[in-house]
Amino acid sequence: MDNTEKKFGALTPDQLIYLNEEIAGMARAGLPLEEGLASIAREMSRGNLKEATQLLAQDLKQGKSLPEAIAAQQGRVPKFYSSLMNAGIRGGNLPEVLALLTTYARSLSDLSSVVYTALLYPMMVILIAILLTVMIMIFVMPQFISIFSDFGMRLPFFTQLIVDVCRNPIPTLVIPLGVIGISAIGLRQVFNATEVGRCNWARLIYSLPVFGVLIRSARLAAFTDLLAILVENKMPLPEAFELAAQAGSDPILKAGGIQIAEKLRQGSSLAQALKEFKILPEVVSWMAGMGELNGNLSQTLKQAAQMYARQVAVRSQMVQSIFPPLLVVLCAGFITSIFVFAVFLPLINLLQGLSN
């Protein structure tokens, strides 16, 4: 990877949609791409998309074909992009292929948005609960601590624990939480250091109730959708499977995609290869095998993609409608428990002592 790629990184799905639509529009109109892309780049603000568009225009002016110019953007543009363009040029249907790429990029962007939105609501509720708890411990608890100190009360264990945290927040709260956070980040880096670790981390995430299924369904929807597009455009199945697996964010698919592609090149059927390596759910393996047997693999894969996209929509709606109220109740219960056990019980004991 060159320095430019390190600086700018990959295009986002929205940026890829914009670039793809511009190329498709110029291709349909028969306009020279190098001049059109150079003109578009001049009107863009600084950033990743401007750099990629400028480099595409420069490569086209130097005599490279469009797929070659796209392939030179490896690290910015997905590898399957140039392969599909080659297929479109060979078949004389480049605008249609570009339209399919736009549709895929839009569906990928929509899936990512649904997942992020579903995960955002619970995180916001938890963050608000943490802020409320911190405000109570900073502004409210000291007032009660002062009252208890004035009367020289012997505090219960839980109340004394809260008092110690309020008086010494750094050693009793900040440092332990920091150690936990750093340990979690370090553990994630250890998993991420090797291919086996990344696969095990993915399996751990997928095992989470609701959220794990949501994330895996989104990844499977993107994978099967792209594989359907590649197969539909007459790309050899081994190459199509490997490209679709490498384009996604699922480390299990990335690791197994190369092995399955090699198995397919050796003459194995897709059903046999999927059954041997088991990197896809059984239902997807069965659907793919039946599609290959019946000669309609691309349509079968599209059905699988739609099935997982519906799962993502349903589970996202469930997360957004059930988890925020549930978390509000749990957080309210937690804050109320702090008040009851740390404040009101000692206060009741104080009032009883005064009355006696």
CA distance 274 to 216: 17
Identify whether the C-beta of residue 11 lies closer than 8 Å to the C-beta of residue 109: no
Higher confidence at residue 74 or residue 269?
269
Mean pLDDT of 167-190: 85
Taking residues 263-272, report their average pLDDT. 88
Tokens 């299924």, residue located: 213
List phi, psi (to 5°) of 77.
-110, 135
Q: Is the pLDDT of residue 182 over 90?
A: yes
3-state secondary structure of 74: strand
Question: How far is C-alpha 54 from the chain's CA centre?
Answer: 29
**Taking a C-beta distance cutoff of 8 angstroms, is the pair 121, 324 a contact?**
yes
Mean pLDDT calculated for residue range 260-288: 87
* Three-state DSSP state, 77: strand
Instruction: Please name the residue ranges forming H helices in the chain.
Output: 3-8, 13-29, 33-43, 48-61, 66-71, 79-91, 94-135, 141-150, 157-167, 169, 175-192, 195-206, 211-232, 237-247, 251-265, 270-277, 282-294, 297-339, 345-355
Instruction: State the Cα–Cα distance between residues 154 and 148, nearest whole angstrom.
Output: 8
Q: What is the pLDDT of residues 330-355, one digit of tens each?
A: 877 877 777 777 777 777 777 776 66
The arithmetic mean of pLDDT across residues 196-204, rounded, is 89
Written as one letter, the residue type at 30 is G
pLDDT at position 271 is 85
CA angle 146, 152, 153 (to 5 degrees): 95
CB 167 within 8 A of CB 146: no
* Rounded Cα–Cα distance for residues 73 and 244 (Å): 18
Q: How much is the pLDDT for 356?
A: 62
- When pLDDT is averaged across residues 142-156 and rounded to a whole number, the result is 74
Q: What are phi and psi of 156, to 5 degrees?
A: -60, 165
Residue 241 vs residue 317, higher pLDDT: 241
pTM of the predicted model as reported, rounded to 2 decimal places:
0.70
Inform me whether the pLDDT recorded for 283 exceeds 60: yes
pLDDT at 183: 92
Per-residue pLDDT, 102:
79
State the burial class of residue 52 (Cβ atoms within 10 Å of its Cβ: 0-12, 13-18, 19+). buried
- What does the alpha-carbon distance between residue 243 and residue 79 come to, in Å, rounded to a whole number? 7
Mean pLDDT for 65-94 is 77
Q: What residue type is 67 in one-letter code? A: P
Task: Give the best-scoring range by mean pLDDT among 5-9, 123-127, 260-264, 319-323.
Answer: 260-264
- Sign of the C-alpha dihedral, residues 247, 231, 219, 24? positive
In DSSP terms, which residues pair with 74 in a beta bridge?
77
Contact call for residues 95 and 24 (beta carbons, < 8 A) = yes
Is the pLDDT at 279 greater than 50? The verdict is yes
pLDDT average, residue stretch 309-313 = 86
Average pLDDT, the chain: 81
Q: Which domains does the chain have, with CATH numbers?
A: 3-77 (no CATH), 107-356 (1.20.81.30)
CB neighbours of 37 closer than 8 A, spacing ≥ 6? 22, 23, 26, 53, 54, 56, 57, 60
| 10: pLDDT strictly greater than 70 | yes
Q: 209-221 burial, b if ≥16 CB within 10 A, otherwise e?
A: eebeebbbbbbbb
Q: Which of 161-170, 176-185, 240-249 is least confident?
A: 161-170
> What is the pLDDT, as a whole number, of residue 3?
36
Radius of gyration for the alpha carbons in the chain, expressed in angstroms and rounded? 28
Which range is least confidently modeled, 44-53, 85-94, 241-250, 263-272?
Answer: 85-94
Query: Which residues are paired to 77 by β-bridges?
Result: 74
Stretch 129-137: mean pLDDT: 78
CA 245, 248, 254, 260: dihedral to nearest 10 degrees? -10
Tokens encoding 258: 């190369």
288 contacts 274 by C-beta, under 8 angstroms: yes
pLDDT of residue 8: 38
- Find the DSSP H helices in 153-281: 157-167, 169, 175-192, 195-206, 211-232, 237-247, 251-265, 270-277
pLDDT at 353: 67
